Structure 1
Amino acid sequence: MLKVYAVENLRSGLVVGRDIMDEKGNVLISTGTALTKEMIYGLLDRPIFSVYIEEKEPAAEVPGQDHLLDDEYLDCYQDAYTKLAKMFQELAERGQFDAADLQALMDEKNFTVLSDGAKAVSQIHNMEHQEPYLVHHCLHVGILAGLMAKWLGLSMLDQYNLVIAGLFLDIGKLRIPAEVLDKQGSLTESEFDMVKKHAQFSHDMISMTTLNANQDIMRGVLQHHERCDGSGYPNHLTAENISSFGKILAILDMYDAMASDRIFAKRRSPFDVFATLYDDILDGKLDTEYGVLFIKHLCHSLNGNWVGLSNGEKARIVYLDESRVRSLPVVQTLSGEFIDLGKNRDIKVECILTANEVKA
């Protein structure tokens, strides 16, 4: 039986089910070859996102939590969270943060680990967070920004700046009363007007720091709720006046906000989020180039993730048609049954499961 593996999830000893080809059509690794670490490292350096692996056992077994959550990743994430939370507190209390803390947070090793392809998407979905949502959301957007920057082939300096903009884009929400931010149910018009001020607040807060000298970061933070058709805020800019960072962060912010658990809203299936993002692309709200690239690359990264289905079952994503933006996955249930959710519309993915939910 053939199974699709994201390259980041390969391990030594797996047997290649179909020839792995390079971008020119040359065979890199032949069918039937048992993978070694050296082969896997070589694939990670190429624009190859998934490979077919020959599996003998058809039944899907629930892995232990140790197979879902990577200790190195968790340690790195928690360290980054602690540093970012400290900077948020310092900015809120005295209008400054220690530049050394930002440098430590942006250490190359940290974001090499945190923005590591499919692992990053899997890990931020699999973790359960007890601390307040705001810092986690900003850290997620920073991680997604690191991924997006690599997918776009940005320079190292632009990668660095885009990540920083993602980390601070919502810090202005610290100036919004908690009873408004965490309100369950619809906001009043005045409450929504208050929430919409957070982009300007974020810009104003970081303008008091050394980040003020970097206009890419400043514009990205201020413009992450602007929309290409002029329907966004705070300044109702249209596409030609929105920076590339603003357009990119708008997509990343929307994705994580809808895909994560919040006090006032349950997380949604990534495929429902993709549909919403694509509708906004077609409606001219989100940038087409950035939006389609993000959806296609993130689909690569969802292979192998465990999901909760609308019929109450747990299943693993084993295949996604990467040629279609609106494609739905083939999943394998615990009993070994394969379900093509593109054909069986009675069953939907409700959410990506955390490690604890898979074990339950």
Structure 2
Amino acid sequence: MRYVPTLCLREGMVLAKNLYGNDGSLLLQQGQPLKPSYISHIAHNGFQGVYISDKLSDEIEIKTVINDQLRNSAVTAVKDMYNQTLTTGFNQIMADNAKVIVQDIVEEIILNQNIMVNMIDLKSYDNYTYFHSVNVGVLSIVMGVTLGLNETDLFKLGLGALLHDIGKVFVSKGIIDKTDSLTPEEYEEVKKHPDLGYEYLTRANLDLPLLGLIGILQHHERMDGSGYPAGLSGDGINRFSRIISIADVFDAMTSDRPYRPAMMPSEVMEYLMGGAGTLFDPELIQLFTRKVAAFPLGTCVLLNNGLTAIVVENYEDCVLRPKVKVVCSNENKPMYLDLKNNRNLANLTITGVVKI
């Protein structure tokens, strides 16, 4: 299978992965040939792309760190938490639900800990906040497992990550959903959300772990002191918060937003790597790049010799040099280029991502 942006979908392409709606219901089933009406439906629901199966990518099997059922259940639960926080308040039942979700995610990621995060996420911009919360939780727990954290600490980390943006429910929806640049005054309002979330959940007295709450409070702090709300730096920032901040930035930048289109994982990975030591913890960035693919399986890339290829294998210790299969090769059999292990290809590099 391979990921195809919605604008590049064509009639007859075969859906390779089930597509679920905002309420968790099945929109389109795996194996379904796409019709023009289906493509319009995908676009109308705000999906930036889907996975399709074709001869170019039939050998590519993408394994996920958590299954679709768990992910959809988590998104639905987070949506309920956010909506009820403003009406009935965040109560003990919601806190217990969050704990169960996080524990289930922790257990599944531990079982799948040898799998790289290799997928471009299938999320709609209408439900961005809820998908984002779950994704940040998953990515944070993946990093925690790789660090060797015990299950208790993974649970605390995951809970803070899942609820990291809960304070945004107390910021004007007009500001959160604004499609153009924020004014300085509006940005100051947005910057209050870590404090608002931390203070609200602390006052609620729901037996939430302190380290998880600190993760919520500090997830916008930066290593050089340029973050908010307290301008903390270096070791003054809790390690859980440093983990959540990386997961938060990665998922946010790879998502379609009202004010900008999604960036490709490779572009965001370059940003994170460039910020190692200044904005982000360099050791955690190194760990993140081992577990999250810069060029997810099925990504079509352009090589510096002019060839187009599709990524068929990634390497944790060499994320920018995957194994690729050349598209439209003149050879009788597919031509594979192993950018990591073939020394004869040392001068061959990936220059960008193409949409085909």
Contact 2:301 2:310 in 1 (8 A): no
Question: Which residue is 2:324 aligned to?
Answer: 331
The structure that is helix-richer by fraction is 1
Question: Which residue is 2:138 aligned to?
Answer: 143
Q: Unpaired runs of 5+ in structure 2?
A: 1-53, 329-333, 340-344
Alignment of 1:1-360 (within 5 A): 61-63=56-58, 73-97=67-91, 98=93, 99-108=95-104, 110-113=105-108, 116-117=112-113, 121-123=117-119, 125-129=120-124, 131-210=126-205, 214-282=209-277, 284-299=278-293, 305-309=297-301, 315-320=309-314, 322-323=316-317, 327-335=320-328, 336=334, 338=336, 343=347, 347-349=351-353
Paired amino acid for 1:296: R
Distance across 1 between alignment mates of 2:308 and 2:79: 34
C-alpha deviation, 1:178, in angstroms? 2.8
Distance across 2 between alignment mates of 1:248 and 1:331: 30
Matched residues, number = 287
Distance across 1 between alignment mates of 2:107 and 2:310: 26
Identity %: 26
Distance across 2 between alignment mates of 1:92 and 1:332: 50
- The alpha-carbon distance between structure 1 residues 346 and 227, as it changes in their structure 2 partners (threshold 3 A), is closer
Instruction: Report Cα offsets for 1:112-131 as digits up to 9, x if no partner.
Output: 336734767235x2424364
C-alpha deviation, 1:278, in angstroms? 1.4
Contact 2:191 2:228 in 1 (8 A): yes
2:117 counterpart SS class: helix
1:348 counterpart SS class: strand
Distance across 1 between alignment mates of 2:171 and 2:347: 45
Contact 1:145 1:252 in 2 (8 A): yes
Instruction: Report Cα offsets for 1:270-295 as digits up to 9, x if no partner.
Output: 2211211111114x221121121111
Distance across 2 between alignment mates of 1:80 and 1:346: 36
Contact 1:309 1:315 in 2 (8 A): yes
Contact 2:106 2:154 in 1 (8 A): no
Distance across 2 between alignment mates of 1:176 and 1:337: 53
Paired amino acid for 1:348: G
Distance across 1 between alignment mates of 2:347 and 2:178: 38
Paired amino acid for 2:211: D
TM-score normalized by the length of structure 2: 0.69
- The alpha-carbon distance between structure 1 residues 194 and 142, as it changes in their structure 2 partners (threshold 3 A), is same
Contact 2:265 2:295 in 1 (8 A): no
C-alpha deviation, 1:168, in angstroms? 0.5
C-alpha deviation, 1:266, in angstroms? 1.8
Distance across 1 between alignment mates of 2:126 and 2:264: 22
Contact 1:269 1:350 in 2 (8 A): no
- The alpha-carbon distance between structure 1 residues 186 and 259, as it changes in their structure 2 partners (threshold 3 A), is same
Contact 2:118 2:292 in 1 (8 A): no
Distance across 2 between alignment mates of 1:213 and 1:320: 38
1:332 counterpart SS class: strand
- The alpha-carbon distance between structure 1 residues 133 and 303, as it changes in their structure 2 partners (threshold 3 A), is closer
Distance across 1 between alignment mates of 2:308 and 2:179: 28
Contact 2:222 2:231 in 1 (8 A): yes
Instruction: Report Cα offsets for 1:83-141 as digits up to 9, x if no partner.
Output: 22212222222332313322432343x44336734767235x24243642011101000
Paired amino acid for 1:151: T
Contact 1:87 1:101 in 2 (8 A): no
Contact 2:167 2:196 in 1 (8 A): yes
C-alpha deviation, 1:205, in angstroms? 2.7
Distance across 1 between alignment mates of 2:89 and 2:288: 34
Paired amino acid for 1:75: Q
Distance across 1 between alignment mates of 2:292 and 2:239: 19
2:299 counterpart SS class: strand
- The alpha-carbon distance between structure 1 residues 303 and 175, as it changes in their structure 2 partners (threshold 3 A), is same
TM-score normalized by the length of structure 1: 0.68
Contact 2:113 2:145 in 1 (8 A): no
Q: Unpaired runs of 5+ in structure 1?
A: 1-58, 352-357
